[in-house]
Amino acid sequence: MVCYSIVASRAQHGKKNSEEMHQIARAFNNMAYIYATYYYDYQKAYENLSRSIELSKRYCYDNNLAYAYMNMASILDNGNRFYGEDRYSVEALNYTKKAFDEAIKAKEWNVAVTSIYNMLSMLDNGADCKMIEPELARFKTLQLTDSVEMWQCTRMFCQAVEAQQSGQLQVALDYYDKMLDKAQAVTTNRQQCIIKAIQQKSVVLATMHHYHDALACLRQVEQITLEQGMESELIDTYRALSQVYAAMGNSQEAERFDYKYLKAKDEFVLKSHVERIEKSRFLDEMRRVNEQVAQIQAKHERAHQLLLMVSLVSAIILIALVLLMRSNIKQRNYIRHLYEKNVQLLDVKVDPAQPGSQPEDKQEDAAPKYQSQLDQESKDRLFGQIKQVMDNMSIICQPDFSLQQLATQVGSNYKYVSQVVNECYGKSFKQVLNEQRVREACRIMNDPNQSRHLTIEAIAANLGFHSRSNFTVTFKRITGISPSDFMRMAKEK
The model's pLDDT over 80-116, given as tens digits with 9 standing for 90+, comes to 666 655 667 788 889 999 999 999 998 999 999 999 9
Query: Per-residue pLDDT for 38 more than 60?
Result: yes
339 inside domain: no
For the CA atoms of 109, 111, 116, 118, the dihedral, rounded to the nearest 10 degrees, stands at 160
Q: Which of 393, 406, 387, 401 is nearest to 459 (CA)?
A: 393
Distance CA 156, CA 179 (A): 5
Furthest-apart CA atoms within the chain: distance in Å: 161
**Among 279, 299, 319, where does a domain finish?**
299
CB of 206 closer than 8 Å to CB of 247:
yes
- Answer yes or no: do 288 and 364 share one domain: no
326-348 in b/e burial notation, b at 16+ Cβ within 10 A? Answer: eeeeeeeeebeebbeebbeeeee
Within its chain, how far is the Cα of 97 from the centroid? 38
Q: Who has greater pLDDT, 225 or 349?
A: 225
Which residue did the predictor score with more confidence, 371 or 244? 244
Closest alpha carbon to 189 in 215, 150, 162: 150
The helix/strand/coil state of 398 is coil
Does 322 map to a domain?
no
Residue 455 inside a domain? The answer is: yes
User: Domain for residue 282, yes or no?
Assistant: yes
Distance CA(67)–CA(26), nearest Å, equals: 9
Whether 275 and 389 map to the same domain: the answer is no
**d(C-alpha 140, C-alpha 121), whole Å:** 17
Q: Which 8-state DSSP code applies to residue 235? A: H
Candidate from 12-16, 42-46, 478-482 with smallest mean pLDDT: 12-16
Same domain, 272 and 377: no
What 3 state SS string does 404-428 have? HHHHHHHCCCHHHHHHHHHHHHCCC
Is residue 353 assigned to a domain?
A: no
DSSP string, 341-391: HHHHHTTS---PPPTT-S-HHHHHHHS-SS-----HHHHHHHHHHHHHHHT
Nearest CA among 77, 32, 64 for reference residue 50: 32
pLDDT of amino acid 451: 76
Question: How many angstroms separate the CA atoms of 491 and 488, rounded?
Answer: 5
Final residue of a structural domain among 299, 323, 344? 299
Residue 219 pLDDT exceeds 70: yes
Within this chain, do residues 167 and 22 fall inside the same structural domain, yes or no?
yes
pLDDT score, position 230: 86
Report pLDDT for 217.
94
pLDDT at 368 over 50: no
Q: Is residue 292 located within the same domain as residue 373?
A: no
Q: Provide mean pLDDT across the span 485-492.
A: 85
In a domain, 354, yes or no: no
Among 193, 203, 150, residue whose Cα is nearest residue 173: 203
Do 81 and 201 reside in the same domain of the chain?
A: yes
- CATH code: domain of residue 431: 1.10.10.60
- Residues 289 and 374 occupy one common structural domain: no
pLDDT tens-place string over residues 313-327: 999 999 989 888 888
Q: CA-to-CA distance for 430 and 420, rounded, in angstroms?
A: 14
Residues whose CB is less than 8 angstroms from the CB of residue 427 and which lie 6 or more positions away in sequence, other chains included: 366, 421, 435
**Taking CA 70 as the corner, what is the angle to CA 69 and CA 72, rounded to the nearest 5 degrees?**
65
Nearest-CA neighbor of 196 among 211, 213, 182, 212? 182
Look at residue 63 in the predicted model and tell me its pLDDT: 79
- Same-domain check for residues 285 and 402: no
Same domain (yes/no): 398, 289: no
Q: Which amino acid is at 178?
A: K
Among 277, 276, 246, residue whose Cα is nearest residue 261: 246
Tell me what the mean pLDDT of segment 29-33 comes to.
Answer: 89
Between 341 and 252, residue with greater pLDDT: 252
Q: Are residues 294 and 374 in the same domain?
A: no
What is the per-residue pLDDT across 328-363, written as a single tens digit (0 to 9) for each?
Answer: 888 777 777 777 777 776 665 545 544 333 433 444
Q: Is the pLDDT of residue 147 over 80?
A: yes
* Cα distance between residue 265 and residue 82, in whole Å: 8
- What is the rounded distance in angstroms from the CA atom of residue 106 to the CA atom of residue 289? 35
Domain boundary among 267, 284, 299: 299
In contact, 346 and 446? CB cutoff 8 Å? yes
Question: Could you report the per-residue pLDDT of 41-67, keeping only the tens digit for each?
Answer: 778 888 898 988 888 888 888 778 888
> Is 355 a domain residue?
no
The pLDDT tens digits of the residues spanning 414-471 come to 888 888 989 888 889 999 999 989 988 898 888 878 777 888 899 899 888 988 999 9
Work out how many domains the chain is built from and give that number. Answer: 2
Q: Is residue 480 one of the residues assigned to a domain? A: yes
Q: Kindly report the CATH number assigned to the domain that includes residue 88.
A: 1.25.40.10
Phi-psi category of residue 351: left, alpha or beta, with phi > 0 → left and psi -120 to 50 → alpha: beta
Range of the domain at 163: 2-299
Judgement on whether residues 286 and 391 belong to the same structural domain of the protein: no
Cα–chain center distance at 270: 49
Burial 376-393 (b: 16+ CB within 10 A, else e): eeebeebbebbbebbeeb
For residues 164 and 258, membership in a common domain is answered with yes
pLDDT of residue 350: 47
What is the pLDDT at residue 362?
Answer: 41
Coil, strand or helix at 481? coil
Q: What pLDDT does residue 21 have?
A: 85
